[in-house]
Amino acid sequence: MFLIPDAVVRFYHRMASPPHFYTFTEQCMPWLVGVFVILVSAGLVGGLYLAPADYQQGDSYRIIYIHVPSAWMSLFIYIVMAVAGAIGLVWRIKLAEVVLVSSAPIGAAFTFIALVTGSLWGKPMWGTWWVWDARLTSELVLLFLYLGVMGLYGAMDDKRVASKAVAILALVGVVNIPIIHYSVEWWSSLHQGPTVITKTGKPAMHSSMLIPLLLMALAFKVYYVIALMQRARTELLSRERNSQWVKNKIAMGAKL
């Protein structure tokens, strides 16, 4: 690992230690929540109030400010899960396993939001709640993959073994991610093609609408980090309940 600077390696190793992760995330939390509140308020005011109505859809298009960031997060979180799964399998790092299992419910929630908001928009705009085109079907499969990871993990008592099983499921399922992304280009679908990252390299969206969308996307990313840290902390405490550092934390009267 000669390409990676020493400081990064050291940070990585320290973060992999559960007690250090626990303390570090506690210190980060207020800052992250602050950044999230600023981003989400800017994004919502920009998207729902400042951005103009669309020339075709009027105000109905504004659901994009929830739908698109949620859909992006549903893909992003799955990739995080798969990478964490690979790290957990190869290096047997406990924290990677915790990141994997803690991400699944958050990813499932974002996928669900993307599907529901898309459906609500689809009824008036397309004329139907649901169609079995490539994009919608592959996104639904993604929801089932998340639910599968959650179910499989919950079904096994030995959490180290369960982590290995869900890591393999997450890695196999990662093949669905490029399928979802390219579904609208590979096959004819009712779902429209990409707006922000187009083939011409220029977003097919006016900047007054695009900036709030990107702010919302950033806000959702920060929200994911917050939710992930909270879930990972409780997961760590329950896994390490017999270890000395947890006992010390309790003895010191640390906030749980």
CA 224 to CA 229: how far, in whole Å? Answer: 8
Name the segment binding other proteins (CB under 8 A); options: 55-63, 147-155, 228-236, 239-247. 55-63
Name the segment binding other proteins (CB under 8 A); options: 30-38, 106-114, 206-214, 244-252. 206-214
Q: Does 188 bind other proteins (CB under 8 A)?
A: yes
List Cα–Cα distances, 28 to 35, 78, 250, in angstroms.
11, 23, 20
**Which tokens in the block code for residue 216?**
């919302």
In the bound complex, what is the minimum distance in angstroms from residue 231's beta carbon to other proteins?
Answer: 24
Going residue by residue from 61 to 100, which x/- string records binding to other proteins, judged by CB under 8 A? x--x---------------------x--xxx---------
How far, rounded to the nearest angstrom, does the alpha carbon of residue 59 sit from its chain's CA centroid?
27
Q: Does 116 bind other proteins (CB under 8 A)?
A: no
**Which tokens in the block code for residue 192?**
């429209």
Going residue by residue from 119 to 158, which x/- string records binding to other proteins, judged by CB under 8 A? -----xxxxx--xxxx------------------------
Q: Does 180 bind other proteins (CB under 8 A)?
A: no
Positions in 13-52 near other proteins (CB under 8 A):
52
Work out which of 171, 214, 218, 237 binds other proteins, going by CB under 8 A: 171
57 CB-contact burial (10 Å; exposed 0-12 / middle 13-18 / buried 19+): middle
For residue 59, the one-letter residue type is D
For residue 1, the one-letter residue type is M
Q: DSSP letter at 158?
A: -
Phi-psi region of 127 (alpha: psi -120 to 50; beta: other; left: phi over 0): left
Q: Give the residues lining the site for other proteins (CB under 8 A).
A: 1, 52-57, 60-61, 64, 86, 89-91, 124-128, 131-134, 168, 171-172, 174-175, 179, 186-190, 192-195, 198, 204-206, 208-209
